[in-house]
Amino acid sequence: MTLATKKTQRWTYREIPLHQRMREVAQEVASKPALLHRDRVVTYRELDAASDRFAAALARRGVRGGDRVTIFMPNSIEFVISFYGILKAGGVVNPINVQSKDREVRFQVEDSGAKAVLYDDALAPIVDAIRPSLPNVRFVVTGPSSADGVERFDALVAEDGAAPAVETAMDDLAALPYTSGTTGFPKGVMLTHRNLTANQQQFFASVPVRRDDVFLNVLPFFHIYALNLLMTGAVSLGATQVIMARFDMVEYLTLVERHRATVCFIVPPLVLGLAAHPEVDKHDLSSVRFFFSGAAPLAPEPARKMVARTGIPIIQGYGLTETSPVTHANPHDAAVLESIGPAIVGTEDRIVDLETGTRDLPAGEVGEIAVRGPQVMRGYWNKPDDTAAVIRDGWFFTGDVGRKDEKGYVFIVDRKKEFIKYKGFGVGPAEVEAVLCEHPAVADAGVIGKSDEEAGEIPKAFVQLRPGASATPAELIDFVKARISDYKRVREVEFIDKVPRTASGKILRRELADREKAKAATAG
């Protein structure tokens, strides 16, 4: 494979697949700790060798170029080995949210056409429920035991063998994460090696991270923010990353202090915790150079309180799964808390009119944010119409509404899409509505995002019951909770006479949102 550089918008980036970059780093800093998790330490040499052996094992089991392989694991060393092993085998990484229920996992495995599923033993009950319906899929589990027909991850990594000689093109798919939609089930986002490696380099050129940094990585690796910028970003830099499988404030602060973490990537709910949690004052956070917040809008006031309390600056950025993810970030030395910042290097942005998306708006006017750059996805998996709706003439239309000032800083105003952001996770209302309508007492349902100080937004359902039927809010909340990921579940239920719809049958969620705003105004 020929390595090259690619020039875009007066910015040059290096064309190199992520797994090949990891191999380079392993040669440069072989004995340096790459991954720290609890009492385990894995050096770059060991990560490279383990992912080589895992790639060989996958190839022996029939994984070929372009095959999708699902990772259903919490943050762990095994996740990182799996990610690079799949790429070295020529495969495409298909990560799944660990909060997913069996129906969600089955949908994503079937929709992606995954050839194998790698999962954590703690998630075995969910996988065991779907394995009989997926007879052509291989299953590999971490942990000391496995069910009949399931291979052990450790056994595969222990097998001898060199990684297969796979020729990887920059426009080959590397990852297929799924993003929730507002009008249907989640969609697979086709991200190429070019998308991911270019966006890493764009991010590194915009945010002051470096090889001697220690990353404290608690954000979930299945989410594109952590997958490409934190987990593989630290590896591409040659930095050390401390892995947390789940968030706990005391443990988080303890690990910052113990490992002298220098950069911490967070989401707005964690900002709230750092601004108010009594444990913060008990720990030495002086090693941290900055916090970087993404995945959801940052409320300025809690951010100011956090900065005043810790003395550590915070940088806000913005992106989407479809953009690998980053398109905007504040300069570390000229950050504006209320803004997502200007477009990062190698990225163009526009504010266009909401009606047609064809007219550029001047500074200060509100419209849809559109972006163009090497990080924009190839498209949605097997959904050409959905792809054509958001990528037009090379521009990706984000569905987010904002304005730009004279200096190029962008301010998010609203979402054009009826997307719900709960603690940084996207929730598609249509999926939640479909689950609610499975309840025998429910005739119709509409779901919106309700503002919440801690979560950003919570899913609230407006439910129309069948004639003569009865149900309680708690009953419906429990019904949904049992069927989809916890972050998607309904937090509030309000019964209404009729869910508003257009003549063509589309739910008028804006009417429901206006109803909620009027109620909040009355209460206030």
- Write out pLDDT tens, residues 170-179: 999 999 999 8
pLDDT, one tens digit per residue, over 324-347 is 999 999 998 898 988 999 999 999
User: Tell me, what DSSP letter sits at residue 361?
Assistant: P
Bridge partners of residue 12, in order along the sequence:
7
Of 398, 415, 432, the residue at which a domain comes to its end is 415
Tell me what pLDDT residue 7 has: 52
Question: Both 401 and 451 in a single domain?
Answer: no
| Whether the Cβ atoms of residue 105 and residue 131 lie closer than 8 Å to each other | no
Domain contains 5: no
Query: Of 445, 454, 448, whose CA–CA distance to 420 is shortest?
Result: 448
Tell me what pLDDT residue 412 has: 86
Domain contains 371: yes
Q: CB-hemisphere CA count at 13 Å for 178?
A: 27
The H-assigned helical ranges of 159-285 are 193-206, 224, 232-237, 249-259, 268-276
pLDDT, one tens digit per residue, over 217-245 is 999 999 999 999 999 999 999 999 999 99
Residue 265 phi/psi, 5-degree rounding, is -95, 125
Q: DSSP characters for 271-317?
A: HHHHHH-GGGGGS--TT--EEEE-SSPPPHHHHHHHHHHH---EEEE
Question: Both 468 and 411 in a single domain?
Answer: no
Of 167, 189, 217, the residue at which a domain comes to its end is 167
CATH number of the structural domain spanning residue 385: 3.40.50.12780
For 510, the domain range is 420-523
How confident is residue 4, by pLDDT bands cut at 50, 70 and 90?
low
The one-letter amino acid at 101: K
Whether 470 shows a pLDDT value over 60: the answer reads yes
Tell me what pLDDT residue 199 has: 98
Distance CA 23, CA 200 (A): 16
Whether 10 shows a pLDDT value over 80: the answer reads no
Task: Output the CA–CA distances (angstroms, integers) from residue 439 to 186, 223, 251, 486, in the order listed.
Answer: 21, 30, 40, 18
Question: Both 400 and 433 in a single domain?
Answer: no
Query: pTM, whole model, 2 decimals?
Result: 0.84
Q: CB within 8 A of 519, min separation 6: which ones?
A: none
Of 145, 167, 189, the residue at which a domain comes to its end is 167
Question: Both 64 and 125 in a single domain?
Answer: yes
Q: Helix 473-481 and helix 429-436: axis angle, to 10°?
A: 110
| Whether the Cβ atoms of residue 425 and residue 268 lie closer than 8 Å to each other | no
Question: Both 481 and 389 in a single domain?
Answer: no
Tell me what pLDDT residue 1 has: 33
pLDDT, the chain, mean: 91
Tell me what pLDDT residue 503 has: 55
Could you give the number of structural domains in the chain?
3
Provide, rounded to the nearest whole percent, the portion of the chain with pLDDT above 70.
95
pLDDT, one tens digit per residue, over 201-222 is 999 999 999 999 999 999 999 9
What number of other Cβ atoms are within 10 A of residue 340's Cβ?
26
Question: Both 501 and 391 in a single domain?
Answer: no
How confident is residue 410, by pLDDT bands cut at 50, 70 and 90?
very high
Question: Both 407 and 424 in a single domain?
Answer: no
Domain contains 30: no
Distance CA 303, CA 338 (A): 10
Domain contains 33: no
Region at 52 (left for phi over 0; alpha for psi -120 to 50; beta for the rest): alpha
Q: In the block, which residue shows the tokens 């004995």?
A: 31
| Whether the Cβ atoms of residue 157 and residue 54 lie closer than 8 Å to each other | yes
Question: Both 95 and 232 in a single domain?
Answer: no
Parallel/antiparallel/unpaired status of strands 33-37 and 240-243? parallel
Tell me what pLDDT residue 506 has: 65
Query: Of 213, 192, 311, 305, whose CA–CA distance to 265 is shortest?
Result: 213
Provide, rounded to the nearest whole percent, the portion of the chain with pLDDT above 90.
72
Question: Both 392 and 441 in a single domain?
Answer: no
Whether 5 shows a pLDDT value over 60: the answer reads no
Tell me what pLDDT residue 2 has: 37
Give the per-residue SS3 of 87-130: HHCCCEEEECCCCCCHHHHHHHHHHHCCCEEEECHHHHHHHHHH
How confident is residue 183, by pLDDT bands cut at 50, 70 and 90?
low
Question: Both 74 and 87 in a single domain?
Answer: yes
Tell me what pLDDT residue 3 has: 46
Tell me what pLDDT residue 338 has: 87
Question: Both 105 and 150 in a single domain?
Answer: yes
Tell me what pLDDT residue 444 has: 85
| Whether the Cβ atoms of residue 353 and residue 374 lie closer than 8 Å to each other | no
pLDDT, one tens digit per residue, over 45-98 is 999 999 999 999 999 999 999 999 999 999 999 999 999 999 999 999 999 999
Give the per-residue SS3 of 126-181: HHHHHHHHCCCCEEEECCCCCCCCCEEHHHHHHCCCCCCCCCCCCCCEEECCEECC
